[in-house]
Amino acid sequence: MSSLAFTKDQVLETFINDDELFSESVNLFLENVQTRLATLKQAVTARNVDVIMAEAHTIKGMMGYFTAGPPYEAAKKLEFMGREKNVDGVDEALADLVDNLDKLRVVMEGWLA
């Protein structure tokens, strides 16, 4: 397993080796994570800790089948910041999540190629 994502074979096994379900799930993640991320960015700008916590939690859950690495941990950090109502460093934490999601997206697009 790379530090960024599970291998394609590991993820495919999670989807019972169903290529169609796997591809649909990856595509859904890639489509839906952008909407969630946009809402999270707005929440960070507004310093709305409840929405930060909720959106980060949702993004973290969406990633659960694909990674337990840095993207997951970055979302988890934001979730806890929201839960603890701590916005110190929230912009940096968001930037870290965005960077890690960009890297994960590249890996996932490679799985579909």
Judged against a pLDDT cut of 70, whether residue 1 lies above it is answered with: no
pLDDT digits (tens, 9 = 90+) for 5-64: 889 999 999 999 999 999 999 999 999 999 999 999 999 999 999 999 999 999 999 999
CATH-assigned architecture of domain 8-112: Up-down Bundle (1.20)
Sequence-distant (6+) residues with CB within 8 A of 30 are 105, 108, 109
pTM over 0.85: yes
**Cα 81 to the center of its chain, rounded Å:** 16
pLDDT digits (tens, 9 = 90+) for 67-100: 989 999 999 999 999 999 999 999 999 999 999 9
Three-class DSSP labels, 29-65: HHHHHHHHHHHHHHHHHHCCHHHHHHHHHHHHHHHCC
For the chain, give every domain's residue range. 8-112
pLDDT at residue number 4:
79
Say if CB 111 and CB 11 are below 8 A apart: yes
